[in-house]
C-alpha cells in the first residue's frame, strides 16, 4: 500500500468560496474541516467557541442575580444547583472559558495595536494564552475551595 | 462613527477593554461571595460600588456577545432569511439577559 501525503489545505482563496445558491455576495467562512490544525489556529476557533459558551453562561449569572431578587427560597435553590457536583463542573469549565476568552481577547487587543504580529510571537503568545487561562482558572478554584472547604 | 462596520469594530474592542478589569473583579468577588447567605448576598449586591460595577458589566457583556454571536452567524448562516432570523434571536437573547440581570440588580438595591 503506497501512501500519499495529501495537502488538505484549501486550494482556492477563502474569499472565493461560496455556498451553492447563496444569495449573499459577502465571502463566507470556509468550513472548519478544511483547515490543518495547529496550536496557533486553534486559538482562533477556541476564541469563538468560548465566546459562544460565555454568552450561554451569562444565563447562570442572570439566574444568580434574579434568584437573589426573587427571594431566599429561589436563592437557596440556585445556589444548591450551582454548588452540586455537576454545577461545580459546569462552573469550572465556564471559568476556563471566560479566562481563555479574556486572555486571548487581550492578545487580540495587542494585535489591534500593531504589536506582536510576527510568526514566532504568534506561537509564543498562543502558548502563553493556553498557560495563563489554565493558571487563572486553577487559582480561582483553589481560592474557592480553600475559602469554603466543601 | 464612519460606518456600521467601523462602529461594530470599535464597540467590540471598547466593551472588551471595559470587561477585562470588571471580569477579574467579578471572578474575585464571586469566589468571596459564593457561600453567602441570602442576606449577605443582598447586602453585597446592594452596595453602591457593586451595583454600579455590575450594571456596567451587564450592559457591556450583553452588547459584546450580541456583536460576537452576530459575527459567527454572519460567517456560518448562509441563507438570507435564516440569517435574519438568527440575528433576531441573538438580539432577543442579549436583551433578555440584560433586562433580567439589570432589573434584578436594581430590584436588590431597592429591597436590601
Q: What does the pLDDT read at residue B94?
A: 98
Instruction: Work out the pLDDT band at A54, boundaries 50, 70, 90.
Output: very high
Q: What does the pLDDT read at residue A9?
A: 62
Q: What does the pLDDT read at residue A3?
A: 55
Q: What does the pLDDT read at residue B79?
A: 86
Answer whether residue A120 shows pLDDT above 60: yes
Answer whether residue A21 shows pLDDT above 70: no
DSSP assignment string, B14-33: HHHHHHHHHHHHHHHHHHHH
Nearest-Cα distance to chain B for A91, in Å, is: 11
> Could you give the percent of chain A with pLDDT greater than 70?
77
In this complex, do B65 and A51 lie within 8 Å of one another by their Cβ atoms?
Answer: yes
Euclidean distance between CA atoms B68 and A50, whole angstroms = 11
- Residues of chain A contacting residue B31, judged by C-beta atoms under 8 Å apart: 140, 143-144, 147
Does A38-148 carry CATH code 2.40.10.10? no
Q: What does the pLDDT read at residue A10?
A: 60
Instruction: Work out the pLDDT band at A1, boundaries 50, 70, 90.
Output: very low
Mutate one of B34, B37, B43, B111 to test the A interface: name it (highest A CB count within 10 A). B34
What ranges do the domains of chain B cover? 4-111
> Could you give the percent of chain A with pLDDT greater than 90?
67
Residue A39 in contact with partner chain B when CB distance is under 8 A: no
Nearest-by-Cβ selection for B45 from A51, A68, A112 = A68
Instruction: Work out the pLDDT band at A23, boundaries 50, 70, 90.
Output: low
What ranges do the domains of chain A cover? 38-148
Euclidean distance between CA atoms A142 and A138, whole angstroms = 6
Euclidean distance between CA atoms A59 and A52, whole angstroms = 12
Q: What does the pLDDT read at residue A16?
A: 57
Name the closest residue on chain B to residue A71, using Cα atoms.
B38
Q: What is the pLDDT of residues A91-100, one digit of tens each?
A: 999 999 999 9
Q: What is the pLDDT of residues B79-106, one digit of tens each?
A: 889 999 999 999 999 999 999 999 999 9
- Specify the CATH architecture of the domain B4-111: Up-down Bundle (1.20)
- Mean pLDDT in chain A? 87
Q: What is the mean pLDDT of residues A4-27?
A: 60
Euclidean distance between CA atoms B35 and B1, whole angstroms = 45
- Residues of chain B contacting residue A59, judged by C-beta atoms under 8 Å apart: 97
Residue A140 in contact with partner chain B when CB distance is under 8 A: yes
| Residue position matching grid coordinates 489554565 | A134
Instruction: Work out the pLDDT band at A119, boundaries 50, 70, 90.
Output: confident
Q: What are the φ/ψ torsions at residue B37 (nearest 5 degrees)?
A: -70, 170
Q: What are the φ/ψ torsions at residue A84 (nearest 5 degrees)?
A: -70, 165
In this complex, do A75 and B104 lie within 8 Å of one another by their Cβ atoms?
Answer: no
B5-44 residues touching A, CB cutoff 8 A: 13, 16-17, 19-20, 23-24, 27, 31-32, 34-35, 38, 41-42
A65-94 residues touching B, CB cutoff 8 A: 65-66, 68-69, 71-72, 75-76, 83
Element (H, E) at A19: none
Nearest-Cα distance to chain B for A29, in Å, is: 5
> Could you give the percent of chain B with pLDDT greater than 90?
88
Euclidean distance between CA atoms B108 and B112, whole angstroms = 6
Q: Could you give the C-alpha distances from B105 to A63, B75, B96, in angstroms and in order?
A: 11, 35, 14
Angle, CA A90 vertex, CA B13 and CA B31 arms, to 5°: 70
- Residues of chain A contacting residue B62, judged by C-beta atoms under 8 Å apart: 58
Q: Residues with Cβ < 8 Å from A26, sequence gap 6 or more? A: B74
Q: What does the pLDDT read at residue B1?
A: 54
Q: What does the pLDDT read at residue A150?
A: 46
* b/e per residue A41-63 (b: at least 16 CB within 10 A): eebeebbbebbebbbebbeebbb
Amino acid at each position: 500500500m503506497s501512501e500519499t501525503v495529501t495537502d488538505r489545505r484549501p486550494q482556492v482563496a477563502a474569499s472565493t468560496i461560496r455556498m451553492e445558491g447563496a444569495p449573499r455576495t459577502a465571502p463566507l467562512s470556509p468550513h472548519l474541516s478544511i483547515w490543518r490544525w495547529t496550536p496557533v489556529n486553534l486559538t482562533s476557533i477556541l476564541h469563538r467557541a468560548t465566546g459562544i459558551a460565555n454568552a450561554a453562561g451569562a444565563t447562570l449569572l442572570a439566574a444568580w442575580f434574579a434568584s437573589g431578587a426573587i427571594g431566599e427560597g429561589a436563592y437557596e435553590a440556585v445556589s444548591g444547583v450551582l454548588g452540586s457536583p455537576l454545577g461545580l463542573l459546569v462552573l469550572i469549565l465556564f471559568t476556563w472559558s471566560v479566562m481563555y476568552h479574556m486572555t486571548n481577547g487581550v492578545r487580540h487587543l495587542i494585535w489591534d495595536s500593531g504589536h506582536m504580529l510576527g510568526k514566532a510571537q504568534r506561537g509564543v503568545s498562543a502558548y502563553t494564552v493556553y498557560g495563563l487561562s489554565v493558571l487563572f482558572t486553577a487559582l480561582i478554584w483553589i481560592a474557592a475551595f480553600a475559602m469554603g472547604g466543601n | 462613527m464612519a460606518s456600521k462596520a467601523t462602529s461594530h469594530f470599535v464597540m467590540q474592542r471598547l466593551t472588551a477593554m471595559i470587561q477585562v478589569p470588571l471580569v477579574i473583579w467579578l471572578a474575585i468577588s464571586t469566589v468571596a461571595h459564593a457561600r453567602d447567605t441570602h442576606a449577605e448576598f443582598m447586602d453585597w449586591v446592594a452596595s453602591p460600588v457593586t451595583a454600579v460595577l455590575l450594571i456596567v458589566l451587564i450592559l457591556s457583556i450583553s452588547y459584546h456577545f450580541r456583536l460576537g454571536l452576530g459575527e459567527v452567524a454572519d460567517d456560518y448562516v448562509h441563507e438570507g432569511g435564516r440569517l435574519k432570523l438568527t440575528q433576531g434571536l441573538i438580539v432577543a437573547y442579549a436583551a433578555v439577559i440584560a433586562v433580567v440581570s439589570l432589573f434584578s440588580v436594581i430590584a436588590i438595591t431597592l429591597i436590601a
